[in-house]
Every structure is written in structure tokens, then in C-alpha cells.
Amino acid sequence: MINTMECAVDAQSLISISLRKIHNSRTQRGGIKLHKNLLVSYVLRNARQVYMNEKYAEIYRMQQYEEVMTVCNEIQELNPLDLAEDCEEQRGDCCGNGGVSEPASLCCALLPVSQLVAVQSAHMQTPSACSAPLSLQSDEVCKETEPSFYQSCCAEAYPVSNCEFSPVNNLHCNKTTVLDLDTHVVTTVENGYLHQDCCASLQQCCQGAQYSGKKRKVDFEYYISDIEEVPDFTPCKRAKFEDCSYANSEHLDTSNISNLISIFGSGFSGLVSRQADFEQALALNGQFCSKQALASLGAWTRAIVAF
């Protein structure tokens, strides 16, 4: 794995520098130097890989936030009467045994548990619709367990907030904390705002370059279908992260270098003619990252957050 901390110049700058070198080589006396341009293409590939990893990690974090928000929204929409039965069933998990180390969260029970492990925290909040009729019971739940018992992965007790246990404020206090086993990111969603409470020691795990979520499937189609800012974007359909980054890296290397070599053969006009396409086709498809392409990618992720 490339040590991205090695130099201050980020991957995006390296990409633009490399493309400029390739462009300048066209006008150098003596013709294009094959050796030098081959080495520049390697730098371009490496920078692109790092940039892609960072973007994937960012998208993954956004996706997690989206999932959490979606689940919480679904919980809010549920009929309180329907939830009462669920809450009854979950009560045993919550307060049946005093020795239960980590009481399950009603909220988390509705989350996709295949990937996530819900960690109880003092902020853990049952859905307002659910908690209203169970307010007394939830109070009992909370009284039976110490506030410090609800801890995030950071081993720091969250301060108990009064609002969580106030039926009146249930509608407004909406917090859910989840821990992702893959990235070790603790995500707290509070009133629609995303908080990431990562331990300092786990910060590196949160960096996109270290992503190892091979089990995670990213369905870009889900997002793209609702976004009109990039109408021509062609996502990796049902692409796993490893497909887009690691496992097929050699294929992408070849395709990337092959694109570069073919451009060498056709002259810089080939690069220029493709730039218009590159603005549309993002790096996810193994195409070149020009500044414009990268900027459009940023706009796309901003759209995700807004959504």
C-alpha cells in the first residue's frame, strides 16, 4: 500500500502534474521519450489508485450515514401500535437479565445487523413513536443499568442526556449509534446530523486507504438513480470495493496504461479529445482523472450528502 503520508502533494495534484508532463513531452525536441512517459504513467496510476481509495472510503462513509438515516426514518414512520409487539419482544433483551453486557437496541434491531453491530450508548434512543408508550418501561430499562454501561467503542461513557428519556423530547432527540466492524467507525446519528466518534487509535482505520470491507457491496445504482447532476455517469454496477480497487487492479492498470499508450500513439489530440468524455466518465471506470473529472466527482459526493 502506498504510503500517502510521504509527501504533501496530494494525489490529485500528482495527477495534474503528470498529465502536464505528458502534454509537454509532445513538444520536446527529439520526440516523445518512451521511457520517461512510461514512468509518468506509473505515477499517474499510483496517484489515481490512492485518489480512488479515498473517494471510495468517503462514499462508503456517506452510504453508512444514508443507511442509518434510512432506518431511523423508517422507524419514525412506523405505527406505534405495530412497534409495541416488537418492543415487547425486545424487552427481554433490554432488561431481562441484569447481567446482559450490551442490551440490544430497539433501533439497532431494525438495522441491517449482518454488517453492523449496534453498540448501546447513553444516546441510544428508541424511536419516538416506539418509546412513547414505553416511556415508563424504558425508564426502567435505563434505571436498571448504569449510564456508564452504555459505551461506544471508544470506551468513553457518553454523558447521559435528559432528553433521551423525556417523552416530550422524544420527537426531537433522535440518536442512533452504530459500530461498523469493517472500518471500526462509530457513527452517531443525532437529529439528522452525522457524528463519527472514532478513537484516536482507530483513526487510521477510518482512512479510506485502509479500507478492507471486502464483504461490503456498494450499489452505486441506488444513488445514481436519484441524482441528476451526473446524468452520464456509468457506475460500477453492484461493484464490490475489491472489484473496483484491489482485485482487478491489474486489469485497471493495464487498461489505464493502455489508455495512456494509445494516447501516446495518437498524440496529445487523443488526450484532449477524451477530456470531454472524461468529464462525464469518472475514474470509477478506470478512465483518466482530469481536473474536471475530479471536480465533478466532488460535486457528486456533495450531492450525496445533501440527499
Partner 1 sequence: MAGAGGGGNDVQWCFSQVKGAIDDDVAEADIISTVEFNHSGELLATGDKGGRVVIFQQELESKNQPQCRGEYNVYSTFQSHEPEFDYLKSLEIEEKINKIRWLPQKNAAQFLLSTNDKTIKLWKISERDKRPEGYNLKEEDGRYRDPTTVTTLRVPVFQPMDLMVEASPRRVFANAHTYHINSISVNSDCETYLSADDLRINLWNLEITDRSFNIVDIKPANMEELTEVITAAEFHPNQCNTFVYSSSKGTIRLCDMRASALCDQHSKLFEEPEDPSNRSFFSEIISSISDVKFSHSGRYMMTRDYLSVKIWDLNMESRPVETYQVHEYLRSKLCSLYENDCIFDKFECCWNGNDSVVMTGSYNNFFRMFDRGYRQDVTLEASRESSKPRSVLKPRKVCTGGKRKKDEISVDSLDFNKKILHTAWHPQDNIIAVATTNNLYIFQDKL
Which residues contribute to the site for partner 1 (CB under 8 A)?
Answer: 1-3, 6-9, 11, 14, 17, 21, 29-31, 33-36, 38-39, 42-43, 46-47, 50, 254, 257-259, 261-262, 265
Q: What's the CA gap between 98 and 101, in Å, rounded?
A: 8
Nearer to partner 1, 39 or 247 (CB): 39
Least CB distance to partner 1 at residue 38 (A): 6
Instruction: For the CB of residue 42, give the shortest distance to partner 1 in the complex, in Å.
Output: 4
Q: 2 or 181, CB closer to partner 1?
A: 2
What is the smallest separation between the CB atom of 26 and partner 1, expressed in angstroms? 11
Q: Helix-strand-coil percent breakdown of the chain, rounded to 5?
A: 60, 5, 35
| Residue 208 and residue 180 in contact, taking contact as beta carbons nearer than 8 Å | no
Q: Indicate if the alpha-carbon torsion angle 105, 107, 108, 113 is positive or negative.
A: positive
Q: Which of 98, 265 has the CB closer to partner 1?
A: 265
Nearest CB to partner 1, comparing residues 30 and 99: 30
At which residue does the C-alpha cell 520517461 appear?
A: 36
Residues 6+ apart with CB under 8 A from 254: none
Nearest-angstrom CA–CA distance, 99 and 144: 10
Beta-bridge partners for 186: 179
Q: Rank residues 17 and 104 by Cβ distance to partner 1 and give the closer one.
A: 17
Cβ at position 136, least distance to partner 1 in Å: 59
- Closest contact distance (angstroms) between CB of 263 and partner 1 is 10
Give 169's Cβ-side CA count (13 Å radius): 12
Helices 249-266 and 11-25 meet at what angle, rounded to 10? 30
Nearer to partner 1 by Cβ, of 42 and 149: the residue is: 42
CB atoms within 10 A of CB 116: 19
Least Cβ distance, residue 37 to partner 1 (angstroms)? 10
Q: Phi, psi at residue 193, to the nearest 5°?
A: -105, 145
